[in-house]
Amino acid sequence: MTAMPQPRRAKRKKPASLSEFLCRESVAGYMFISLFIIGFLVFTIIPMIASLYLSFTNYNILGDAKWIGIANYVKMFTRDSKYLKSLSVTFFYAFVSVPLKLLMALIVAMIMTRQSRVTGLYRSVYYLPSIIGGSVAVAVMWKQLFASDGVINSVLQALSINSTKSWIGSRDSAIWVLILLTVWQFGSSMLIFLAGLKQIPKTYYEAATIDGAGKVRGFFSITLPLLTPTIFFNLVMQTINGFMVFNSGYIITQGKPLNSTLFYALYLYQKAFTDYDMGYACAMAWVLLVIIGLMTALLFSSSKRWVFYQGAR
Amino acid sequence: MKKMLSLVLALALLLSVMALPASAETVKEVNGGEPCTIRIAWWGNQTRNDLTTKVLDMYHELHPNVTFETEPTSWDGYWDKLATQAATSSMPDIFQQDYGKVGSFFAQNLMMDLTPYVENGTIDTSRISTAVLESGSMDGKLYALCLGLNSPCLFYDKETFAAAGIEAPLQLTWDQFFSISKEIYEKTGVQTYIDSMVLGMLFRGIGTSEYAADGTKFGVEDDTVFKTYFQMIADAAKEPWHVSPELLVEKNPTVTETMPIIDKTTWDSFSNSNQLTTISSTAGRELGMMMWPVMADDTTQVQYLKSSQFFCGSATTKYPDVVADFINFFVTSVDANLVLKGERGVPVDSAVLAALSEGLNETDQIMYSFIDEVNKVATPMDRPTPNGSTQIGTLVEDLTEQVRYGEISPEDAAAQVFAEGSEILAENAQ
């Protein structure tokens, strides 16, 4: 019995045949993920390294890149008022639209948890804007809705409010039109909230009801604390998306009026492809990466104070 | 300067000698009959895309072994895409080129030298004037073949003029322009739009150019012209007859389909003559053409003729002979140009021009007679714009918008353009 393993071990020491090599578990594993790894290297890591290098150069795409050190970064914060404007627009947009969107998603999710025969239909209907929301067509439609001779003004006039206001043309309302578009696309956050809500055990509410707690108390003392991990997840994802907003500003307003909708990504695009200032655009991209990184880190470090994980303590 | 003057003279020749017979078109085999796919890119609009696609089909019928992959885009998207393709060595075999950009593409060796194909007869330039060929030549070699000539023009809505009972002259002074705008608004409610293209013409009017010859500074010593321009924008913006800046956000004037003249929000549009076909067909009605307004004390006529656009071959194309043969077909074939109808500008091949002149429809006749009128008075066109001019253009656009909203005074705007613009030009010159 003890002699049997010996020859087998000896056999293994021989150079493995190709098929044997391929059948090893670790090799098969690497083979399976290699597609992703190669894609990740070629389409993410290498371009990132290239853009880091280019951010220190003066590069107009057609010509060769010329090393200029940190001049791009210095110019950004000292001599480019349009850049600072785009920064403030983007922060405003992210800080306003993300909480509004999550609030909207939570409210609708709460309503959707009620069981009825049409709930499924409503869920699909409310999710629809998120599927089509990022598309160009919706942005174009939004532009039509809020034009001075658009649907919104027609409805207002029908309600005998005399409005000929150009919602996307005036500087105080343009950004709100874009924020509204984002808030309207609450579907994916809503679905995540729905899943979160369903995981809260019914027994908690039953116990609370017996103790005499009403619906409002139940929401603030049971639903909200137990939902904080879901809220946290949504908050992080939406904040990251918020800083990268591009489509709506590009299609609906082109950053106008008076650069009041000039999102960071939009200005970056204009620098890269309108002015052919690719080095500067790369530097902007890296600053954006750092900003998003910092915001995410900030959210994570704050999460210890307010996110409650069941069974964590 | 001399080159462009001779271009003008050459056009005069073209327009007068229209009776040359078209040579019989013979079909030669290209690429040895082997199948090949040619990628071709142009900027434009739906009208141009449709016409161009038709001509590609005609070529495919003559040469069944050649198939095309088309990459049509709008002006904005076109240069983004082409620059990216140039950086990754994946440029289309044939691409449309602009007078303002041909220099930088030449500097980077991105275009195919067409001279050998002119010498071996693939490209027949015998009926094209030397001046036109020179506008696409660098260092004595032909890199870009002109597809048509055009001129800046002011489109106006004929129906609105008729409704207001106003006669449209060939060229207005700015004072007349302002008073006509007012009169039209009072009688019909149709507004007016003045855009930043005006700026370059103000420079021409006083016999100078926006940029100095070497491109390292402005062509003027102080910001007077900028002041005049921003004052004009501010004066107009105050008036009820000028379209509001809010509305301009909605009706983007840089996209044909949303131009305010299309739905009669305004009666005017500053543009180029070859745009007539497109704008008229998008608007669905006939538009008229005027020369650009001038200042009463202008010393120089502002109108000029220019090569509207070119076709180039990519330096890295695998099928240079097909590229050359196609460009020749596109520019010199009468049949092809009967389809294209001069949408890219007045044809440069005299035989083509003669053939086209016979069967002009009303819209084309307006354009051809306009070019004829311009040709009588035109002054040489400006030098190609220097590096950094796009950034200055963006700056002017931004400030123009701020002046319209009353955010900044015309004086401050002018001072800012002059200071920041000078800085940009100096930086780019290094």
d(CA B265, CA B249): 13
Residue A72 lies in a domain: no
Write down the pLDDT at residue B24. 43
Q: Is the pLDDT of residue A9 over 70?
A: no
Q: Is residue B144 within 8 Å of B311, Cβ to Cβ?
A: yes
Residue B430, judged by CB atoms within 10 A of its CB (0-12, 13-18, 19+), counts as exposed
Shared domain check, B164 and B225: yes
**How many independent structural domains does chain B possess?**
2
| Paired strand residues for B291 | B171
Domain holding B205, by residue range, is 152-303+383-429
Token reading at B56: 């590609």
3-state SS class at B318: coil
d(CA B387, CA B108): 14
List, in order, residues 6 or more apart from B378 with CB less than 8 Å away. Answer: B8, B151, B301, B303, B304, B305
* Average pLDDT across chain A, whole number: 86
DSSP B218: B
The residue type found at B165 is G
What residues of chain A, 108 to 167, have a C-beta less than 8 Å from chain B? Answer: 143, 147-148, 166
Shared domain check, B332 and B282: no
Q: Is residue B149 within 8 Å of B307, Cβ to Cβ?
A: yes
Shared domain check, B103 and B203: no
CA of A255, closest CA in chain B: separation in Å? 9
Q: Is the pLDDT of residue B21 over 50?
A: no
Q: Find the helix or strand (DSSP H, E) in which A29 lies.
A: helix A25-40
Residue B285 is part of a domain; what is its CATH number?
3.40.190.10
Choose among B254, B259, B305, B271: nearest CA to B153. B271
Q: Please state the rounded mean pLDDT for residues B83-98.
A: 90
Q: Please state the rounded mean pLDDT for residues B390-418.
A: 92
Shared domain check, B175 and B144: no
**How many independent structural domains does chain A possess?**
1
Q: With cut-offs at 50, 70 and 90, classify the pLDDT of residue B49.
A: very high
What residues of chain B, 67 to 96, have a C-beta less than 8 Å from chain A? Answer: 76, 79-80, 83-84, 86-87
d(CA B195, CA B404): 11
Residue A291 lies in a domain: yes
Token reading at A110: 């709460």
d(CA B344, CA B328): 15
Shared domain check, B367 and B267: no
Each residue's pLDDT tens digit, B313-351: 999 999 999 999 999 999 999 999 988 888 888 888 888
d(CA B329, CA B320): 14
Distances from the Cα of B7 to the Cα of B3, B130, B143, B380, angstroms: 6, 8, 17, 9
Q: Find the helix or strand (DSSP H, E) in which A244 lies.
A: none
Each residue's pLDDT tens digit, A222-239: 889 999 999 999 999 999
The length of chain B, given as a count of residues: 430
Cross-chain CB nearest to B245 (options A147, A253, A257): A257
Each residue's pLDDT tens digit, B287-308: 999 999 999 888 888 888 888 8
Residue B8, judged by CB atoms within 10 A of its CB (0-12, 13-18, 19+), counts as buried
Shared domain check, B287 and B268: yes
3-state SS class at A26: helix
Compute the C-alpha angle A255/A259/A265, nearest 5°: 50
ipTM of the complex: 0.76
Token reading at B365: 């006749």
Q: Is residue B176 within 8 Å of B156, Cβ to Cβ?
A: no
Residue A226 lies in a domain: yes
Shared domain check, B310 and B165: no
Q: Which residues of B144-163 are buried (b: 16+ CB within 10 A; e: fewer)?
A: bbbbbbbbbbbbbbebbbee
Shared domain check, B109 and B206: no
Domain holding A167, by residue range, is 81-306
Token reading at A148: 């001075």
d(CA B372, CA A98): 59
Residue A155 lies in a domain: yes
Cross-chain CB nearest to A168 (options B104, B250, B391): B250
Q: Is the pLDDT of residue A312 over 60?
A: no
The length of chain A, given as a count of residues: 313
Q: Which residues of A145-184 are buried (b: 16+ CB within 10 A; e: fewer)?
A: bbbbebebbeeeeeeeeeeebbbbbbbebbbbbbbbbbbb
Shared domain check, B415 and B267: yes
Residue A31 lies in a domain: no
Choose among B422, B382, B416: nearest CA to B3. B382
CA of A52, closest CA in chain B: separation in Å? 17
Residue A15, judged by CB atoms within 10 A of its CB (0-12, 13-18, 19+), counts as exposed
Q: Is residue B344 within 8 Å of B52, Cβ to Cβ?
A: no
d(CA A243, CA A246): 9
Provide the percentage of residues in chain B whose pLDDT is more than 70. 93
3-state SS class at B40: strand
Shared domain check, B231 and B101: no
Shared domain check, B249 and B167: yes
Residue A135 lies in a domain: yes
Write down the pLDDT at residue B23. 43
Chain B: residue nearest A277 by CA?
A: B391
What residues of chain B, 368 to 397, have a C-beta less than 8 Å from chain A? Answer: 387, 390-391, 394
d(CA A60, CA A281): 10
d(CA A112, CA A126): 10
DSSP B144: E
The residue type found at B191 is Q
The residue type found at B372 is D
Q: Is residue A127 within 8 Å of A188, Cβ to Cβ?
A: yes
**Cβ distance of A166 and B250 shorter than 8 Å:** yes
Q: Please state the rounded mean pLDDT for residues A149-160.
A: 85
Shared domain check, B145 and B47: yes
Q: Does A259 touch chain B (CB under 8 A)?
A: yes
More confident residue, B412 or B27: B412
Q: Is the pLDDT of residue B410 over 90?
A: yes
Write down the pLDDT at residue B155. 93
Residue A255 is part of a domain; what is its CATH number?
1.10.3720.10
Prior bond to B21 cis, omega within 30?
A: no
- A270 vs B contacts (CB less than 8 Å): 394
Q: Please state the rounded mean pLDDT for residues A2-8.
A: 50
- A147 vs B contacts (CB less than 8 Å): 250
CA of B263, closest CA in chain A: separation in Å? 12
CA of B398, closest CA in chain A: separation in Å? 7
Each residue's pLDDT tens digit, A50-104: 999 999 998 887 778 889 989 999 999 998 889 999 999 999 999 999 999 999 9
Residue A3 lies in a domain: no
3-state SS class at A208: helix
Q: Number of A to B CB contacts under 8 A, please give it.
A: 69
Residue B348, judged by CB atoms within 10 A of its CB (0-12, 13-18, 19+), counts as buried
Q: Is residue A305 within 8 Å of A225, Cβ to Cβ?
A: no
Cross-chain CB nearest to A61 (options B76, B83, B246): B83
Q: With cut-offs at 50, 70 and 90, classify the pLDDT of residue B186.
A: very high
